[in-house]
Structure 1
Amino acid sequence: MGQHDRLLRMKPDEFDARLSQIETDWKMILDASRGAEIGHKRAIQTFFDQYSRAVYRYLLGAVRDPDAADELFQEFALRISKGSFRNADQSRGRFRAYLKSALINLVIEYRRKLSKKPGSIQTEPSEFKNPAAALEAEFTRTWRNELLSRTWLQLEEGDRRKGRRYYVVLKFQTEHPQLTSTAAAEQLNVRMQGERPVFTAAGMRKTLQRARDKFAEMLLDEVSKSLHDPRLDELENELVELELDPYCRSALRRRRGE
């Protein structure tokens, strides 16, 4: 099986299992760096909590081989534990640029080593013509998808805590954008067997609008956390660069007081 096919065939439980192993490896690396000051250890753990999934997803998409992605992640973790990011400026979005550069260089190093192995075959030559551009685009996609994934998860968790149905309504509408409010309400009521019908066409429209507003606010918060307390203009620039601004225009206007 080719590397690309193997990646496409990876099941969610396998992906989660690999992430779980990465977490174990990360903690071992953290425990092994006993000479580091407490502040540095805390910074490493914070980095892992915030960025490990995005880093691993990027490496997996870039090298298209789960085993190679595991090895590269471990190498990346070792570099962090040794202080590679100690002087990285985490303000105003510069940290994402620093992280992107470091990961791209790591993947390019891997590809160069791979191409020098005896009997190696270059299966995707187009990606080597301008590797940095392709890898940068992959990083942007991965970062954007990670922010969206976190926001969906937060919306779902918020619904469980507060007894709302924002997640199920917004997810359903996203998957079936062609349906009218009446048809969507009918199908959701059928899908939610065992519960009394809760959706009408009017209720569907109202819940959908509230869900969109909540999702936009949560997404803005996620992007803000990745930028470390940005100004509104910096936040807007980040949204545009990541092509997330269509999700957040109304929420951003509300934050401006417009």
Structure 2
Amino acid sequence: MPATRREAARFPTTRWSLVDVIRRGDARATREALEELLGRYLPALRAHVVFRRRVSRDEADDLIQEFIASRILEKDLIARADRNRGRFRTYLLKALDRFLIDWVRRARAKKRSPGDGAIVPLDDQDQSLQWQETPSDVFHTTWARGVVAEALRRVRSQCESSSRMDLWGILECRLLDPILKGIEPAEYGQLVERFELKSPAQASNLLITGRRMCARALRSVVAEYAQDDQEIESEIAELREILAQGGRL
């Protein structure tokens, strides 16, 4: 697969351009657009179902497949999305939540009428419809982590292609490892020795360069699904808030 196509498979040009492809109804193009669109949201959808229903990953995948079949494919859920009514991921999450509520109700009805004429009593304290206070946090946190992970992947790729893995290494030691692993940032003196630099000041300057690369990469990823500069800034601010509330990546 060409590099440009691999890149697009990770993060499509825009979410709404894929929705437009689905609306046009060409069978092959629609299938490819659905695979690309849903593949990007699958980790967040799965995490949300696992948290909300307290099920295994495999059980969550079964529920998601049923959601895709009964809501997205049969009812043209994606084609009915409206970019003027908010973010696509929020639209998708609300649709999934409605599906889960219906699924629980069907399961409860089946439990009451198992088919042999017997009535199975249900505990009045059944919590299956009483969700946690903030179940959507898991969805949004998983989504935000995916966006940041893609930005970091691009920074590392850029460092590799330009033979500047010292820059990536300093980013890891001073910024990423403390965030991802909860360890203390490496001292600048250690970085000078490890990466054969001239001085701690050079290490500090490389870290500044790396931070700027990360900021540009994050903006580039967000720009692929946000509609304009204002939405890009709003989305980046929201991602920071989500990750601040959700803890380490």
Please give the residue correspondences for 1:35-184 in structure 2 after superposition, counting only pairs within 5 Å.
37-63=27-53, 64-78=55-69, 79-82=71-74, 83-90=76-83, 93-110=86-103, 129-131=130-132, 133-165=133-165, 166-174=167-175, 175-176=177-178, 177-184=184-191
What displacement does 1:77 show? 3.0
Equivalent pairs, count: 201
Relative to structure 1, the CA distance from residue 180 to residue 36 in structure 2 (aligned partners, 3 Å threshold; closer, same or farther) is: same
What displacement does 1:214 show? 0.7
What displacement does 1:102 show? 1.8
Residues 167 and 211, structure 1, Cα contact 8 Å, conserved in 2: yes
- In 2, Cα distance between equivalents of 1:237 and 1:98: 17
Map Cα deviations across residues 47-68 of structure 1 (whole Å, 9 max, x no partner). Answer: 1343333333443444441121
> What residue is the counterpart of 1:232 in the other structure?
229
What displacement does 1:151 show? 1.4
- In 2, Cα distance between equivalents of 1:119 and 1:67: 28
- In 1, Cα distance between equivalents of 2:187 and 2:101: 48
- In 2, Cα distance between equivalents of 1:68 and 1:233: 39
Bigger RCO of structures 1 and 2 (CA < 8 A, at least 6 apart): 2
Whichever of the two has the greater Rg, that structure is: 2
User: What RMSD, in angstroms, separates the aligned Cα atoms of the two structures?
Assistant: 3.7
Q: TM-score, normalised by structure 1?
A: 0.62
Residue 134 of structure 2 aligns to a residue whose secondary structure is: helix
What displacement does 1:42 show? 3.3
- In 1, Cα distance between equivalents of 2:62 and 2:143: 20
Q: Percent identity?
A: 22
Q: TM-score, normalised by structure 2?
A: 0.64
Relative to structure 1, the CA distance from residue 36 to residue 214 in structure 2 (aligned partners, 3 Å threshold; closer, same or farther) is: same
Relative to structure 1, the CA distance from residue 163 to residue 76 in structure 2 (aligned partners, 3 Å threshold; closer, same or farther) is: farther
Larger mean CA deviation between 71-80 and 213-222 belongs to 71-80
Q: Which runs of 5+ in 2 are unaligned?
A: 1-24, 112-119, 179-183, 245-249
What displacement does 1:153 show? 1.7
The one-letter amino acid of 1:180's match is E
